[in-house]
Copies of this chain bind each other. A is one copy, B any other.
Amino acid sequence: MLSRKTRYAFRALTCLAENYGKGPVLISHISEEKKIPLKFLENILNELKKADMLESKKGKGGGYMLKVSPKKINLAKVIRIINGPIALLPCVSLNFYEKCADCDEKHCGLRKMMTITRDATLKILEKKTLHDILFAGA
């Protein structure tokens, strides 16, 4: 399951996607509109910025905005930044790989099943974008 933090991230990003091209959006605005604790939201947006998904402006008239079009931000990317691995096992993860103890990967049946599962999941999550969230919700 996605953490609550990740769900917050998606809600905030949806808000930023709605305002794409219209200049910066205040953290406080997002916080109120999407009912996300202000300080917690600060952390989240900052992480997304460090991961190069957002840009920010300080001072009056400042705020956050998407760095690229909502059509270019897929769900897998967001999940990986805030939530972590998408695969069900570390030894199957493309971005967070970790070897598992006492297991010969070449002959591990579970690993093979989880690889297939990961591919099926990624096929969706890498194709669907913030734009799709907006559009599907309309």
Chain A residues within CB distance 8 Å of chain B: 1-2, 7, 10-11, 14, 35, 75, 84-85, 87-90, 100, 102, 107-110, 112-113, 116-117, 120-121, 123-125, 128, 132-138
Which residue of B7, B85, B88, B137 is within 8 Å of A89 (Cβ)? B7
Which single residue of chain B is at the shortest CB-CB distance from A93? B1
Q: What is the total number of copies of this protein in its complex?
A: 2
Are the C-beta atoms of B1 and A110 separated by less than 8 Å?
A: no
State whether B117 touches A125 (Cβ < 8 A). Answer: yes
In the bound complex, what is the Cα–Cα distance between A121 and B121 (angstroms)? 6
- A109 and B88 contact, CB distance less than 8 A: no
Q: Contact: A112 with B137, CB < 8 Å? A: yes
